[in-house]
């Protein structure tokens, strides 16, 4: 039986996954130890985010359903911002929560 090998050509290595509900209260990520990069997809409802302070439903970087936040360039390290970033549901959203699908990389 042939074993698969992992070769790293400067591309971050996947190390975890999180599904996060985002409602009317700011929430942060729960990155696994060593996470330095993410690929994040917005599902169900639009959101806003900030890394310098808590976002509000009308203030922060807006992301629509289907948008991607791609922090995977291997020459950058997002570890500190992953600890600070917060998300909230946008004012234009419906009654249900938004959902984030997040792949973590190292």
Checking if the pLDDT of 100 tops 80, the result is yes
Sequence spans of domains, the chain: 14-105
pLDDT band at 76 (very low <50, low <70, confident <90, very high): confident
pLDDT digits 0-9 by tens, 20-70: 999 999 999 999 999 999 999 999 999 999 999 999 999 999 999 999 999
- What is the rounded CA–CA span in Å between residue 97 and residue 21? 6
User: Architecture of domain 14-105 in CATH?
Assistant: Sandwich (2.60)
pLDDT band at 72 (very low <50, low <70, confident <90, very high): confident
pTM, to two decimals: 0.87
Checking if the pLDDT of 5 tops 80, the result is no
For residue 89, the surrounding DSSP H or E stretch is strand 86-89
- What is the rounded CA–CA span in Å between residue 91 and residue 24? 9
Mean pLDDT, the chain, integer = 91
Please provide residue 80's backbone torsions phi and psi, each rounded to the nearest 5 degrees. Answer: -70, -40
pLDDT of residue 75: 80
Tell me if residue 83 falls in helix, strand or coil.
helix
């Amino acid at each position: 039986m042939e074993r698969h090998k992992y070769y790293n050509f400067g591309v971050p290595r996947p190390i975890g996954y999180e599904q996060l509900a985002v409602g009317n209260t700011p929430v942060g990520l729960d990155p696994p130890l060593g996470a330095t990069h993410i690929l994040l997809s917005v599902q169900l409802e639009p959101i806003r985010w900030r890394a310098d302070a808590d976002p509000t439903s009308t203030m922060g970087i807006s992301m629509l359903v289907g948008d991607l936040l791609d922090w995977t360039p291997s020459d950058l390290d997002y570890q500190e911002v992953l600890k600070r970033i917060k998300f909230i549901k946008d004012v234009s959203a419906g009654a249900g929560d938004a959902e984030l699908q997040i792949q973590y990389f190292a």
